[in-house]
């Protein structure tokens, strides 16, 4: 997948509530090496604001809502994530920013690589040039 795209996971519901699961390779297009989550984001704060040279991610808003702005340098898109069974896949070399976190939102991110600062592009101008 070369474009950002929404993924829908199975939701299993019964009288005890709902359950959603993710299993590679059935539900995410890369082997998950790292998981991190973002929470207690103060009103008005943003996260992300970078691109990865090689890392791919899947962003899931487990609770509340968040807006994810993405661009490949040409096409700009904005996705609102507000369901724990819907996710946004972000391919390599995609600029992303997470905005408009609702109160008490919890956002989980699956990543294809171990943490590597070298893989980040923090400057939008450098991202454009790199593209
Ligand atoms: P940062 O990249 O600024 O977070 P975000 O993408 O949400 O804006 O990361 C914040 C800090 O956490 C920074 O010092 C790097 C560190 N960090 C790790 O050590 N491991 C990780 O897996 C991540 C995502 C961040």
How far is 119 from 100, CA to CA, in rounded Å? 26
Ligand 1 binding pocket mutation candidate from 34, 35, 36 (most atoms within 8 A of CB): 36
What does the pLDDT look like over 16-28, one tens digit per residue?
999 999 999 989 9
Nearest Cα residue to 21 out of 97, 87, 95 = 87
Atom of ligand 1 nearest to the CA of 120: 2
What does the pLDDT look like over 71-88, one tens digit per residue?
999 999 999 999 999 999
Nearest Cα residue to 39 out of 125, 103, 111 = 103
Phi-psi category of residue 114: left, alpha or beta, with phi > 0 → left and psi -120 to 50 → alpha: beta
How far is 80 from 56, CA to CA, in rounded Å? 19
Cis peptide before 25 (omega within 30 of 0): yes
């Amino acid at each position: 997948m070369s474009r950002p795209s929404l993924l829908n996971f199975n939701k299993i519901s019964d009288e005890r509530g709902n359950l959603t699961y993710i299993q590679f390779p059935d539900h995410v297009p890369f082997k998950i090496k790292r998981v991190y989550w973002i929470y207690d984001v103060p009103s008005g704060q943003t996260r992300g604001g970078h691109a990865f040279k090689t890392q791919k991610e899947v962003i899931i808003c487990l609770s509340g809502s968040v807006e994810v702005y993405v661009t490949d340098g040409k096409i700009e898109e904005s996705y609102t994530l507000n369901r724990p069974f819907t996710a946004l896949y972000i391919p390599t070399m995609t600029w992303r920013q997470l905005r408009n976190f609702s109160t008490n939102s919890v956002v989980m991110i699956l990543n294809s690589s171990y943490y590597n600062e070298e893989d980040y592009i923090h400057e939008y101008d450098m991202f454009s040039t790199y593209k």
